[in-house]
C-alpha cells in the first residue's frame, strides 16, 4: 500500500523572491494491485505529487509511506533499495539512443551489478512480454513511438518492481497505439500483480484503464472516487 499523507510541495522561483505551492495538503491511499489514476490539466501538480512516491521529489511537508515504511525517514542507501520496487515510464520514453533495445532494457540490471547471464535470463522474457523480441538489436531511432514505449515499459520492469509509475506515458502516442499500450499495462497489472499509478491529462486514458482516480487542479484534489462515480452524469 502507498500512503501519501498531507503532502505539500513548495517551489521557489529562480530568483528566490516568490514561492509556488505546487501541491497543497494532498492525502491519497493507493492499494496493492490497483490501477490508480491522477487526472488533471497541465500544471495541476500531478507529476510533483506522484514523484513523491519514489522521492524523485522530496515533499516540503508530509509523509510518504510505502508498505508501512516512511520513505522520508530512510537513509540514502535504504532509499536506493526501496526505489528498486518502483519502476517509472515517461511521455518521451527517456531511452538511450546509442543503445539497442536489448541494452536499454538491460541498463537497470547492469547498474545494479547483475551478471551478464542473469541479465539475459531477465531481459529475454521481458522483451517477449512486451512483444519486442524481433526488435532486440534495433536502436530507438528505428522504432515507432509505441515500440519505444514498450522498451520503456520493459526497462521499468527489469528490477521486478511492485509499483509502476506512468507519467503521461501515452500522451505522445496516437489513439490506436494508446489503446494497445494501455492493454499491455493492464496485462502487466493482471499477470505480474504490479500496482500502476497513471498520471494523465487524458480523460479517455483513465476511463479505459483506471479503477479509482483523483482529479487535481491547482495543487489540490478536487474529485476522488471510482471512475464510474467521478464521470457519472448528473
Ligand atoms: P502536472 O504534472 O500536473 O503538469 P507539475 O507537477 O509538473 O504539474 O507542476 C505543478 C506546478 O509546479 C507547475 O506550475 C510547474 O510549473 C511547477 N513546477 C514543477 N516542477 C518544478 C520545479 N522543479 N521547480 C519549480 N516549479 C516547478
Ligand atoms: P555473451 O555471453 O555471448 O557475451 P551476452 O548475453 O553477454 O552474450 O550479450 C552480449 C551482448 O549481446 C549484449 O550486451 C547485447 O547487446 C547482445 N544480446 C544478447 N542477447 C541478446 C538478445 N536476445 N537479443 C539481442 N541482443 C542480445
**How far apart are alpha carbons 186 and 194 in whole angstroms?**
9
C-alpha torsion 169→173→178→183, nearest 10: -60
Joined together, the cell numbers standing for residue 108 give: 537497470
Helix, strand, or coil (residue 182): helix
Q: Which ligand number lies closest to the CA of residue 52?
A: 1
- Give residue-wise pLDDT tens across range 183-223: 999 999 999 999 999 999 999 999 999 999 999 999 999 99
User: Ligand 2 atom 17: the closest Cα is on which residue?
Assistant: 102
Ligand 2: nearest atom to the Cα of 137: 25
**How far apart are alpha carbons 1 and 31 in whole angstroms?**
5
pLDDT of 20 reads: 94
pLDDT of residue 56 exceeding 80, the answer is: yes
Interface ipTM: 0.73
- Give residue-wise pLDDT tens across range 13-55: 889 899 999 999 999 999 999 999 999 999 999 999 999 999 9
The C-alpha angle 58, 193, 44, rounded to 5 degrees, equals 35
- Give residue-wise pLDDT tens across range 120-158: 999 999 999 999 999 999 999 999 999 999 999 999 999
C-alpha torsion 10→71→159→166, nearest 10: -30
107 lines ligand 2 (CB under 6 A): no
152 alpha carbon – ligand 2 mean position (Å)? 19
Joined together, the cell numbers standing for residue 152 give: 520503456
User: Ligand 1 atom 16: the closest Cα is on which residue?
Assistant: 43
51 lines ligand 1 (CB under 6 A): no
103 lines ligand 2 (CB under 6 A): yes
91 lines ligand 1 (CB under 6 A): no
Helix, strand, or coil (residue 174): coil
Cβ distance 7 to 49 under 8 Å?
yes
pLDDT of 176 reads: 96
User: Ligand 2 atom 27: the closest Cα is on which residue?
Assistant: 102
Q: Rounded to a whole number, what is the distance in angstroms from the first to the last CA of the chain? A: 32
Cβ distance 107 to 96 under 8 Å?
yes
Give the single-character DSSP code of 28: E
Amino acid at each position: 500500500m502507498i500512503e501519501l499523507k498531507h503532502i505539500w510541495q513548495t517551489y521557489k522561483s529562480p530568483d528566490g523572491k516568490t514561492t509556488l505551492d505546487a501541491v497543497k495538503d494532498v492525502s491519497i491511499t493507493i492499494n496493492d494491485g490497483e490501477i490508480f489514476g491522477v487526472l488533471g490539466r497541465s500544471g495541476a501538480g500531478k507529476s510533483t505529487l506522484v514523484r513523491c512516491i519514489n522521492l524523485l521529489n522530496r515533499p516540503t511537508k508530509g509523509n510518504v509511506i510505502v508498505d508501512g515504511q516512511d520513505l522520508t525517514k530512510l537513509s540514502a542507501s535504504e532509499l536506493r533499495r526501496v526505489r528498486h520496487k518502483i519502476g517509472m515510464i515517461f511521455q518521451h520514453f527517456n531511452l538511450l539512443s546509442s543503445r539497442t533495445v536489448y541494452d536499454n532494457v538491460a541498463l537497470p540490471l547492469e547498474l545494479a551489478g547483475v551478471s551478464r547471464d542473469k541479465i539475459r535470463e531477465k531481459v529475454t522474457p521481458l522483451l517477449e512480454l512486451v512483444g519486442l523480441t524481433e526488435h532486440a538489436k534495433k536502436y530507438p531511432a528505428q522504432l515507432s513511438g509505441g515500440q519505444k514505449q514498450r522498451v520503456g515499459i520493459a526497462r521499468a520492469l527489469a528490477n521486478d518492481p511492485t509499483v509502476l509509475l506512468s507519467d503521461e506515458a501515452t500522451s505522445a502516442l496516437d489513439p490506436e497505439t494508446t489503446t494497445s499500450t494501455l492493454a499491455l499495462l493492464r496485462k502487466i497489472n493482471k499477470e505480474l500483480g504490479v500496482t500502476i499509478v497513471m498520471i494523465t491529462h487524458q480523460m479517455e486514458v483513465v476511463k479505459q484503464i483506471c479503477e479509482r482516480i483523483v482529479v487535481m487542479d491547482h495543487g489540490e484534489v478536487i474529485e476522488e472516487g471510482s471512475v464510474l462515480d467521478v464521470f457519472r452524469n448528473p
